[in-house]
Structure 1
Amino acid sequence: MTFEDIVNEIVETPRFRKLPGFVVIKALIRKIGYMENIPVVHVAGTNGKGSVVMMMASILQSAGYKVGTFTSPHLVDIRERIRINNQMISKDAFTKIYRRLYKYMEALALEGYEKASFFEIIFAMALMYFDKEKPDIIILETGIGGRLDTTNALNNKILTIITNISLDHTQILGETLQAIAYEKSGIMRSNIPVVLYNTIEEVNDTVRSAAAEINAPYVEVLPFDAEIIVRNQESIDFSLRNKYYEYETIHMNTAGDYQIDNAKIAITGMHMLQQQFKFTKSDVIEGINNFKWLGRMTYITPGILLDGAHNKEGIEAFVNHIDRHEKHKTIDLVFVCMDDKQDIEMIEILCNIKRLRSVFIPREKYIKAQKEERLRLLFRQNGFENVYLIDQLKDLIVKRRKDMKDDQLLCCVGSLYLVGDIIKIIEEG
């Protein structure tokens, strides 16, 4: 099988198991012989977990460590999920590992095990790659939840981190913040410290209680004084200070203010690792300077802004950015949303953009049948009439790149799958 054949086979596999559990992934871990001898930092949350993973990885790399990361979803290339020192697994390594894994999966099928899901396959491949490459540390991002997430099958954890929690994936994780916080808390382990960043007390109470039950030391991200020194469309220079840490000038290659909050989490997490992994203030500054996370408040070309915001809190941060920093431009929006329970709130917030001119809703593979009609109706119910359904997203992007004026901005939000498709369109020219 070629690399392309393998990718097609993997993406056609059901994403998750209907009855979640660790039976299949633990059987795969046993078959591949993974010994869990590499320390793990495990990150869960609703927003920001991927950014925290990659910031910490970048800092550790600046300090001279070899760092493996596992993140999801990918935007363009499935190999984005599996990296060593921010370099994607090669196509050759990906192909060889899958061929080996396929034999293990065939053997498990003969033993009566269910077929592995998409996520189990990718995670098992990551472990096989890490086992071969022997990084000093692995930093994992959960897929959706925590307690029942495939990544939670690992136990060699030295730190767990829970980023901001909000209502998302409620059909899987629960209808309340407490229920979701409980699921996210499931990544914790006895006597292993957990770092939490959240401003909602009911979430904090749930995580504190779960940590106390298993004697996991509980560390909240303490308040920082943050000051933006210089900002432009591509980057922010800022300072961070609290009673323990002081960073006079940090340069970050992102336009999103919310990434400063993620930097606070990453820095707190790093200081929790300082007994096992040595680093300096310069390593932190260099690591955050080198951090890049495509599709999160990214000006991909002049006049086109991509942001993977896909829940209420993410959309609020996006709209805040537009109204504060793009106040002299008219805004056109490409929007999709996969969550029927959040699309009402998200669209209400988007309709508050002060200079919103038009909204385009693509008829694409990742939108449920008739979903585009629901989205158009919701915009109109909020008093916004200039909503257009489009059959060819590529045609819109190509035309806008050609005709874009300096006082116009095309913003694409609501789904990381949408963001990935637009990146692919732009890369293909």
Structure 2
Amino acid sequence: MQHSVKNCISNNLNVATIENSTRDYENTIKILNSLQTNAQYLKVARKERLLHHEEYSKTILQTQKYLIRSGVTLETLDTLPVIHITGTKGKGTTCALSESILRHHGLKTGFYSSPHLVEVRERIRINGEPLQKNTFTKHFWNVYNKLETEKVFPNDMPMYFQFLTILAFKIFLSEKVDVAIIEVGIGGEYDSTNILRNVPVVGITSLGLDHTSILGNSLKAIAWHKSGIMKPNSRAFTVPQKRSVLKVLSERSVEKKVNLSKLTVVQPATNLITPNIIHQPLHIYKLNFGLALINWEFTKMGVLNCTWPGRYQILKHNNNVYYLDGAHTLESLQVCANWFRQETRESTRVKALVFNVTGDRDSKTLMSQLQRCNFQKVYFVPNKATKSYTQDEVNYNILENEQVARCYLHRKYWYELQSDTCNKAKVKVLFTVSEILQDCDLDQCDILITGSLHLVGAALSILDPNFAS
């Protein structure tokens, strides 16, 4: 069985229908992973700038095509009540708060987010809970077999994120949710989630520079992409932004014919409730909470019970205290560094950093924000929990040897950065997160794990083995 699945994957998805009895979760994720874009292609495409607006714009048409093939018409999708949220910083937290508030108001909720921390099924939630493995598997094969059967040419299948988006929409329709909270993957205008045509509410969180090879090198360009999720007659909300960003968002709201052609800027919340995510810096929480806030009386229990792992999360394990935050932009790492310093200001523990960053991000500039934390130990590591991968950890978009090479580059950058400071940390490159945790267990440490949500997920899979359950 495993041999046959392996052969199928290597032959460009020419996968025969597998008997129900053998379609377990691990094999399902193997097939799903085979839809991931090859890292080498992405590298060449970015280098040669092959992926222009024309190329990205095809994503919407392709996703629509595969949605229809899966058995869901655009008209049927129009019946799904949706809150669509994008942004650079805080979109996941805003989605989580919105979902929790609405669920505690008595609504049946669907929640689609990315990336996952430990298991893929975290991305699709019903009433705040990730799909059970058997439920995910059942729905996966229902969609996959329909698409496989109707292929016009050998590779005529959706990409990884396209497939998961279609799967999420189909599940939310099947489950008859009262509202679906949809987090954009990257950007907005050309994101696969933007096949949605009937969107009552749109939220745009704080914008910053990220995914610049796709979205552009300026805040104006990024604002253009993010505002692409606005729809005719939708109500569009954002948080305070730079004037140049608000100008683009306002112009696009008129272009997109949003309700009353007006973008509403929501001010940070003032009447705060203490939620389970209060480790988040207060000014950041106020921004995200302000955007999620609907009605105070219906909000209280939702906020009190809202959790969003991997963002300003604190865990105690053995002799150590772990501070986990998936910050990966300049602004978010500034906030992350301040948060860690504030939380550990009275601690006498050894301060340690575990860091990795992926994509086209400027590692040295990002790391410069962490220098003032005065770490005594610094570790650079690929986004790998242990020597053996689970299928949920597989990421064909990133070559492992390139991740390792980048870790050594990070070490070089750190030495350069700390050459101008009095603080000289001990710096190591290790190959798995588990090796780092073992090394830290020799001391009592306050450990900041940041730079990548995938890195945080790898750590969580060790620190909390039952996390996905």
Residues 1:218 and 2:285 are matched in the alignment: no
| Structure holding more helix per residue | 2
Q: Give 1:261 deviation, angstroms.
A: 1.8
TM-score (norm 2): 0.79
For the pair 1:418 / 2:445, whether they are aligned, the reply is no
Distance change in 2, residues 1:6/1:328 (3 Å): same
1:282 aligned residue (297, 307, 323)? 297
1:383 aligned residue: 418
**After the TM superposition, which residues 54-65 of structure 1 pair with which residues of structure 2 at under 5 Å, given as runs?**
54-65=96-107
Structural mapping, 1:141-180, within 5 Å: 141-180=183-222
- Cα distance change, pair 314–15 in 1 and its aligned pair in 2 (3 A): farther
Matches within 5 A, 1:402-413: 402-405=441-444, 408-413=445-450
CA distance 1:248–1:184, change in 2 (3 Å)? closer
Aligned pair partner of 2:409 in 350, 374, 379: 374
Structure with larger RCO (C-alpha < 8 A, sep 6+): 2
**2:240–2:267 CA contact under 8 A, matched in 1:** no
Kept in 1: contact 2:213–2:360 (CA 8 A):
no
After superposition, where does 1:343-358 map in structure 2 within 5 Å?
343-353=363-373, 355-358=374-377
CA distance in 2, matches of 1:152, 1:248: 32
CA distance in 2, matches of 1:428, 1:94: 20
Q: Quote how far apart the aligned CAs of 1:397 are.
A: 1.1
- Is 1:5–2:27 an aligned residue pair? yes
Farther-moved stretch of structure 1 (411-420 vs 97-106): 97-106
Whole-Å Cα distance in 2 between the matches of residues 425 and 15 of structure 1? Answer: 27
Q: In the alignment, what sits opposite 1:253?
A: 277
Partner of 2:124: 82
Q: Which residue of 2 aligns with 1:362?
A: 381
Tell me the CA shift for residue 359 of structure 1: 0.8
Deviations 1:83-113 (A, max 9, x none): 1110111211211111111222123313787
Aligned counterpart, 2:316: 301
Q: Given the alignment, which residue of 26, 38, 41 partners 2:83? A: 41
Structure 2 stretches lacking a partner, 5+ long:
1-22, 43-50, 385-397
Higher mean alpha-carbon deviation, 291-300 vs 123-132, is at 123-132
Letter in 2 for 1:356: F
Question: Do the aligned residues in 1 keep the contact of 2:337 with 2:370 (CA within 8 Å)?
Answer: yes
Deviation at 1:191, TM superposition (A): 2.2
Moved more, 363-372 or 38-47: 363-372
**Structure with more strand by fraction:** 1
Asked if 1 retains the 8 angstrom alpha-carbon contact of 2:327 and 2:336, the reply is yes
Mapped partners of 2:462, 2:447: distance in 1: 15
Q: Identity, % of aligned pairs? A: 26
Is 1:27 paired with 2:76? no
Distance in 2 between the 1:192 and 1:28 partners? 25
Cα 1:208–1:143 change in 2 (3 A) is same
- 2:229 counterpart SS class: coil
Could you give the per-residue CA deviations for residues 322-368 of structure 1, whole angstroms, max 9, x where no partner exists?
Answer: 22231133421000011444212211111122x32121001456563
In angstroms, what is the RMSD of aligned CA positions?
Answer: 2.1
| Aligned residue type for 1:10 | L
The correspondence for 1:326, drawn from 344, 353, 356, is 344
Could you tell me how far apart the structure 2 residues matched to 1:30 and 1:340 are? Answer: 34
Question: CA contact under 8 A between 1:15 and 1:119: conserved in structure 2?
Answer: no
Query: In the TM superposition, what whole-angstrom CA distance separates every residue of 1:114-169 from its partner, at most 9, and x where no partner exists?
Result: 32100011111112211211001111000011000000011120011110100000
Distance 1:249 1:152, change over 3 A: closer
Cross-structure match for 1:231: none
For residues 392 and 286 of structure 1, do their structure 2 counterparts lie closer, same or farther at Cα, with a shift above 3 Å needed? same
Q: Give the length in aligned residue pairs.
A: 394
Quick one: structure 1 residues 107 and 413, their matched pair in 2 at CA, closer, same or farther if it must change by over 3 Å?
same
Q: Look up the SS of the partner of 1:202 in the other structure.
A: helix
Which range moved further: 170-179 or 375-384?
375-384
Partner residue in 2 for 1:234: none
TM-score for both structures, normalised by structure 1: 0.86
Q: Which amino acid aligns with 2:133?
A: K
Map residues 127-146 of structure 1 onto 2, 5 A cutoff. Answer: 127-146=169-188
Q: What's 2:47 paired with?
A: none
2:461 is aligned with what amino acid?
K
SS of residue paired to 1:127: helix
Correspondence 1:67 to 2:85? no
